[in-house]
Chain A
Amino acid sequence: MLERRSFVTGLLAVLGMVMAAVVGIPLVGYTVLPALKKRPEVWIDGGAEAELIPGQPRELKIYQTITEGWHKTTLAKSIWAVKQATGELAVYSGLCTHLGCGFRWDQQKQEFRCPCHTAAFALDGRVLGGPPPRPLDTLPAKVEGGRLLVIYKEFKAGATAKIEI
């Protein structure tokens, strides 16, 4: 009698584990994998490169289509493009590295200024004053066929390192 009991206990354990694995592994994969999926990097059109005047930052509105599962939304994002006097191109995320407010270009002072906590950045992105922990975040950019193309990314606000989110 005791033998039968331990046999049934063992049987229950084996059958239970097989079933738990066959259903459990897919359930975990189903739940976890989509959440860990990297966002695809898409080059977004930012307008004609010729319109950028050297030394004169320009705010660009770009339209990014975000796919969350089955749901697609198109969001307008603000970025800043600067053609440096050297001809080098820099594209900055439109969010202040301190707490993520939107900054402006101050034509008189010739610096970027964030209205939230009076941060100031130079044309090349350096911190000139205020609380920001790091320079302005640059975005991957290139020029193709006269069009400025960028990959829109966001970074963790308030951190000294540039951490993509």
Chain B
Amino acid sequence: MLRTIYNWLDERLKLTPIRVALLEEPIPGGASWIYVFGSVTLFAFLLQMGTGMFLMLSYAPTADHAYESVRYIQEEVPFGTFLRSLHHWGASLMMVAVGLHMLQVFLYGAYKRPRELMWLVGVVLFLLTLAFGFSGYLLPWDQRAYWATQVGVNIVGTIPLIGETLVRIIRGGPTLGTMTLSRFFALHTVFLPWLLMGLVVLHLIILRRLGPAGPWDPARATAFSEPFWPKQVGMDAVAMFAAFLILVSVALWLPPSLADRANPADTTFMPVPEWYFLFYYEMLKYFRGRWEIVGTVIIPVLFYALLFLLPFLDRRPERRPFSRPMAIGAGGLLLAVVFAFLTMSLKAVASISLTDPSVARGKQLYQALGCAACHRIHGEGEAVGPDLSNVGSQRNAGWLMHRLREPESVQPGSIMPAYASLSDEELRDLANYMVSLK
């Protein structure tokens, strides 16, 4: 049956040469599981395209309706939460896939001559992926989206001379508002997808012109080769399916929440970016005042310059990792720094010290007593009372215990209810939890 359809089409479209060209590409050294990440990245992108297109059916990119339309998707449209969750976590899948793909290419020295251009296009694709993540984050138009974007845009504002102008161009005006939303929406759904698709095609054309780099050991690379079909195709498919299963499970298990509607007047909101920007967010904390520009401009510019220039700086033909101590050492150091910052930031955001059981008990009490009905920690909870995201850097445990037992003793006129009924130990746990919030 399929064969008949294929033959019919083949006679009219001359498919066989295309099929042969696509599938018979020789892979030096044979198929390998290590080569699957490029395909997984492309697969993740196609999933994002699919879910994104459908989300647009029920989304309004204006400040007065965006939030309500996302809530409508979440609460009223059948499968709406699932699709939004797939799209939300799909972004993370894409980041992970891009990261692993770049890591593999780096480890295998596959960016070296003659594949410099493929690497350059790849670095641009990486930047586009980040731009996708950043522009998409604003679209739900909730507090988290609004304030995280505010911070992100203001980082651009620290660039000397042209910063303020650039910020205005990004925002589409003097403030972050509906013009910004329109811009981010158009960028996220039209400009970036077309640009990315074009560059993916270019990336693949270069790949097909040069062929894959293969194993780092030249003897193994030239010893034998194996066509793309069927083994590598099968491996790619299994990897895509595994990525798909993980994505669907996470999407079902952890649907994204929607914070309060964006409120430009509520400046108490403490935004937290997506995990893939967290390490950077953490790093920025170390550059304050006049040193801020080091974190916001100098380090990112150096980082991207290094990424772009990598194949021109590292020009020895040697591809074996053990014979490239400089490159591998620098790459390893970079990864270590990124993961160190990420871990620190995750710790700060989760605000729970794993070594102190008192803090964990305090966190449980915080939830059991319903403190979140009035207080907000990293975007969770209401904004009736003070935001507690950073309370640990402002107050000590003793003060907090007084405050909890008898609020008016330290702050006359406070509307905070007294928690005198708690035992001293419970108060201490709660205060310790507060102190851990920094």
Q: What would 8 more interface pairs be, CB under 8 Å, given A27-B50, A69-B72, A69-B76?
A: A5-B229, A8-B229, A8-B230, A15-B238, A19-B241, A30-B78, A69-B69, A71-B65
Q: Do B79 and A8 have beta carbons less than 8 Å apart?
A: no
What separation, in Å, do the CA atoms of A27 and B76 have in the docked complex? 14
Out of A9, A18, A23, A26, which one reaches B47, CB within 8 Å? A23
Instruction: Give, as a whole number of angstroms, the nearest-CB distance from A89 to chain B.
Output: 36
Q: Quick one: which of A1-47 are within 8 Å of B by CB?
A: 4-5, 7-9, 11-12, 15-16, 18-19, 22-23, 25-27, 29-31, 33-34
Q: Do A12 and B77 have beta carbons less than 8 Å apart?
A: no
What separation, in Å, do the CA atoms of A9 and B248 have in the docked complex? 24
What separation, in Å, do the CA atoms of A5 and B83 have in the docked complex? 34
Query: Counting CB contacts under 8 A, is B58 at the interface?
Result: yes
Query: Counting CB contacts under 8 A, is B231 at the interface?
Result: yes
Query: Counting CB contacts under 8 A, is B68 at the interface?
Result: yes
Query: Given contacts A27-B54, A30-B80, A30-B83, are A70 and B69 in contact (CB under 8 A)?
Result: yes
What separation, in Å, do the CA atoms of A12 and B237 have in the docked complex? 7
Q: Do A11 and B234 have beta carbons less than 8 Å apart?
A: yes
What separation, in Å, do the CA atoms of A11 and B237 have in the docked complex? 8
Query: Counting CB contacts under 8 A, is B258 at the interface?
Result: no
Chain A residue contacts of B244, Cβ below 8 A: 19, 22
Query: What 3 A-B pairs have minimum CB-CB distances, sorted nearest first?
Result: A26-B79, A8-B230, A70-B72
Closest to A72 in B: B68
What separation, in Å, do the CA atoms of A72 and B19 have in the docked complex? 52
Out of B51, B54, B230, B248, which one reaches A4, CB within 8 Å? B230
Query: Given contacts A4-B231, A71-B65, are A22 and B248 in contact (CB under 8 A)?
Result: yes
Bits for A131-158, please: 1 = Cβ < 8 Å to B, else 0: 0000000000000000000000000000
Out of B58, B60, B231, B234, which one reaches A34, CB within 8 Å? B58
Instruction: Give, as a whole number of angstroms, the nearest-CB distance from B305 to chain A.
Output: 39
Q: Do A29 and B79 have beta carbons less than 8 Å apart?
A: yes
Query: Counting CB contacts under 8 A, is B82 at the interface?
Result: yes
Query: Counting CB contacts under 8 A, is B86 at the interface?
Result: yes
What separation, in Å, do the CA atoms of A15 and B236 have in the docked complex? 11
Q: Do A34 and B78 have beta carbons less than 8 Å apart?
A: yes
Closest to A12 in B: B237
Query: Counting CB contacts under 8 A, is B115 at the interface?
Result: no
Interface size counted on chain B using CB atoms at 8 A: 31
Instruction: Give, as a whole number of angstroms, the nearest-CB distance from B86 to chain A.
Output: 7
Q: Do A70 and B78 have beta carbons less than 8 Å apart?
A: no
Query: Given contacts A34-B76, A69-B69, are A26 and B82 in contact (CB under 8 A)?
Result: yes
Instruction: Give, as a whole number of angstroms, the nearest-CB distance from B140 to chain A.
Output: 13
Chain A residue contacts of B237, Cβ below 8 A: 8, 11-12, 15-16
Report the contact-size class of chain A (Cβ under 8 Å from the partner): 20 to 34
What separation, in Å, do the CA atoms of A4 and B232 have in the docked complex? 12
Query: Counting CB contacts under 8 A, is B233 at the interface?
Result: yes
What separation, in Å, do the CA atoms of A58 and B234 have in the docked complex? 75
Out of A12, A18, A23, A69, which one reaches B58, CB within 8 Å? A69
7 contacts between A and B (CB under 8 A): A5-B230, A9-B230, A11-B234, A16-B237, A19-B241, A30-B54, A70-B58
What separation, in Å, do the CA atoms of A34 and B57 have in the docked complex? 11
What separation, in Å, do the CA atoms of A30 and B244 have in the docked complex? 20
Query: Counting CB contacts under 8 A, is B71 at the interface?
Result: yes
Chain B residue contacts of A34, Cβ below 8 A: 58, 76-78
Closest to A30 in B: B79
Instruction: Give, as a whole number of angstroms, the nearest-CB distance from A70 to chain B.
Output: 4
What separation, in Å, do the CA atoms of A70 and B240 have in the docked complex? 35
What separation, in Å, do the CA atoms of A65 and B84 have in the docked complex? 28
Instruction: Give, as a whole number of angstroms, the nearest-CB distance from A67 to chain B.
Output: 10
Closest to A69 in B: B72
Bits for B45-77, please: 1 = Cβ < 8 Å to A, else 0: 001001100100110100001001101100011
Closest to B248 in A: A22
Closest to A19 in B: B244
Q: Quick one: which of B82-101 are within 8 Å of A by CB?
A: 82-83, 86
Query: Given contacts A15-B238, A70-B65, are A31 and B57 in contact (CB under 8 A)?
Result: yes
What separation, in Å, do the CA atoms of A149 and B226 have in the docked complex? 78
Closest to B241 in A: A15
Closest to B80 in A: A30
Out of B54, B68, B231, which one reaches A31, CB within 8 Å? B54
Chain A residue contacts of B47, Cβ below 8 A: 23
Which of B51, B77, B229, B231 has most chain A Cβ within 10 Å? B77
Which of B86, B230, B241, B248 has most chain A Cβ within 10 Å? B230
What separation, in Å, do the CA atoms of A152 and B76 have in the docked complex? 24
Q: Do A70 and B60 have beta carbons less than 8 Å apart?
A: yes
